[in-house]
Amino acid sequence: MNVSEVSPSARKSIANTLVAIQFASLTLLAIGTLLQFPNSKFEYLWFEVALIALGIAVILFAARVLKPSLRVSPIPKPNSPFIATGIYKYVRHPMYLGVILIGFGLAGLADSPYFWIVELILIINLNIKARFEETLLLEIHPDAWHYQRHTSRILPCLGSSCRNTCL
């Protein structure tokens, strides 16, 4: 189904569902970490804490740049400017990258296959949310297609991983 054919109320429902899955996943990961805390050996504690700290830093850098357009919902704010500067110059959804990094750290601390499945659900959800948001963003900012074509979605471009020319 084409997103342009979806009613505003259905869009809001989709957005709310994606946000709910995101926060439920993060909550489960945090609970898993707390439950496992007394029993864990924390073999990779420094790495897991570093992932969480890096995720928080990425989110803070992104929030600072996105401030006029910032919201949890994937539905863009009306009349918000299109932002492709700062950290957004390297990745289209740095906040989602930050959440994924935090999730990896929490899943590692929880130290259970069940919580790695929750992290996988979080990653899939954020990819769906990013695609949904980009489709809606194109309706408001048609020139965003060029940015979307030349900037990676969630992971920063490494070497020649981003397209340098338009086809």
- pLDDT in the model for residue 3: 75
What is the value of pTM for the model shown?
0.90
Separation CA 77–CA 69 (nearest Å)? 6
Q: What is the mean pLDDT of residues 100-118?
A: 94
- pLDDT in the model for residue 156: 81
- Whether 10 has a pLDDT exceeding 90, the answer reads yes
- Phi-psi group of 141: left, alpha or beta (phi > 0 → left; psi -120 to 50 → alpha; rest → beta): beta
- Whether 167 has a pLDDT exceeding 70, the answer reads no
Q: How wide is the angle at C-alpha 104 spanned by C-alphas 102 and 109, nearest 5°?
A: 95
Residues above pLDDT 70, as percent of the chain: 91
Separation CA 24–CA 29 (nearest Å)? 9
* SS3 of residue 114 by DSSP: helix
Domains of the chain by start residue, with CATH: 9-150 (1.20.120.1630)
For residue range 115-138, list pLDDT tens digits in order.
999 999 999 999 999 999 999 999
Give phi and psi for 47, each to the nearest 5: -70, -45
Q: What is the mean pLDDT of residues 42-64?
A: 93
